[in-house]
Amino acid sequence: MAILNIVKEGDPVLRKECRPVDRITPRVKRLLDDMRDTLVEANGAGLAAPQVGVLRRIAIVENGEGEFIELINPEIIAAEGKQEELEGCLSVPGIWGITDRPMKVTVRATGRDGEEFTVSGEGLLARAFCHEIDHLSGKLFTDNAVRILSPEEVKELTE
């Protein structure tokens, strides 16, 4: 496994539409493994392939219990409710904002062994799903931010 370089805002790869994965190859599985290791090292909640310079529809999200949900060609198939919460991004370090996201989402995706599945998440997990799937369409959380916070506001919210 390898720790990959996380692409930062300003790199054009973050604004591009990702291509679907047609076949799950050993290279795709290795990318998933490397993305997991990179996510753990960076202490993040999720990571999308374009954040490591790969324009494929692949993302990984930590479920809040130390388990990772691998998503190949994910799409949100249901959303309900609303939450306005603090959000940040490994590709936009030091910037935090309040985003408007659904409270609950259901995602359909393919797993590393080719099985199609659905998974639902609420709260932070729903935000993480939305955030990572947005990356696959070239969107950053700052595009959805209701408000970008000052460093003082972030400190107040996180203490």
Distance from first CA to last CA of the chain, Å, rounded? 35
User: What Rg value do the Cα atoms of the chain yield, rounded?
Assistant: 15
Cα–chain-centroid distance for residue 87? 11
Phi-psi sector, 120: left (phi>0), alpha (psi -120 to 50), beta: beta
**Strand arrangement, sheet containing 97-101:** 83-87, 97-101, 145-148
In sequence order, what DSSP letters do the residues of 41-82 get, joined into one string?
HHT-SEEEGGGGT--BSEEEEE-SSS-EEEEEEEEEEEEES-
Catalytic residue among 132, 152, 153, 159: 132
Q: Is 132 a catalytic residue?
A: yes
Active site residues: 132
